[in-house]
Amino acid sequence: MTPRFQYALQTQLVHFLRGETGEVWTLLGEGLLVSEHMSILLTDAEDRDYHVDIGLAIRLGKKRAIVWDCTSGIGLTDELCATDAFEGWRRTSWTTVREWFDPNDRRTYHSDDIPGWHAMCSDFIGRGQGDGAEYDALKSWLRAHGPLSAVANEIAAELSGDAVVHGIKFMAGNNGAGRLAEVRIDGDRSERATRALDNLGWVTPSQPGFIRCYALLSRPGSSPASKHQQPSGWRRLVDRIKE
């Protein structure tokens, strides 16, 4: 990612997370943001100008939950690309994390398709040129069929039993050369889950763009809102998020 893109994204994340969590966020170096109970690491494994991997780490007593996602931005300037990338993260993966903090604040749909895990799934949003009638039809198809349910077996085979949470990103659309399908588990592309998503019966849009959604898998009772999980100060953070 370009330096201006990274700086603009870091600035937006700091302002947003201060408002959401009520905690003081500090930039400790390139791509590292920290608060009392959380931290964010920005990296770019793909080495693309407007692409970023976002690792959100949450401290839960002696344990730590890490939610990985990747996002990219489109725009005429580095700053507009950063805003676009930030919105993709905020409207999908952050939405699921926020609901994990406060299960009573329902913003996602829930699923128990993977044994031992409870899933909170964001809405399907268009990215790039993912708008228009064809993409509306693709969103409707995905909502009706549920990609998490459809590829649950392939995802379950790759989950780690000792993790507090797992983050699953889905993408479906047209990459400009043809059909685009991708499933990432904790930031890494899953070939078997991607093939399963690709083999589903959705229609490839004729125009470039894609639909994105995110699912957060958590163990029952692992929500930070559970009193036995809260270190000192966490109740204040959860209460702040509930406002």
Is the pLDDT assigned to residue 16 strictly greater than 90? yes
105-131 exposure pattern, b = at least 16 Cβ within 10 A, e = fewer: eeebeebebbeebbbbbbbbbbbbbbe
d(CA 166, CA 185): 7
CA 126 to chain CA centroid, nearest Å: 14
Q: What is the mean pLDDT of residues 107-128?
A: 87
Q: How many residues does the chain have?
A: 243
What confidence score (pLDDT) does residue 229 get?
55
Global confidence as pTM: 0.88
d(CA 234, CA 241): 11
Burial class (CB in 10 A: 0-12, 13-18, 19+), 10: buried
Going from N- to C-terminal start, the domains of the chain cover 3-228+237-242
pLDDT tens-digit map of 177-206: 999 999 999 999 999 999 999 999 999 999
Other C-beta atoms closer than 10 Å to the C-beta of 227 total 9
For the chain, first and last CA: distance in Å?
34
Burial class (CB in 10 A: 0-12, 13-18, 19+), 34: middle
* 33's tokens: 């943001």
pLDDT tens-digit map of 39-84: 999 988 777 778 899 999 988 777 788 999 999 888 889 999 999 9
* 107's tokens: 């913003």
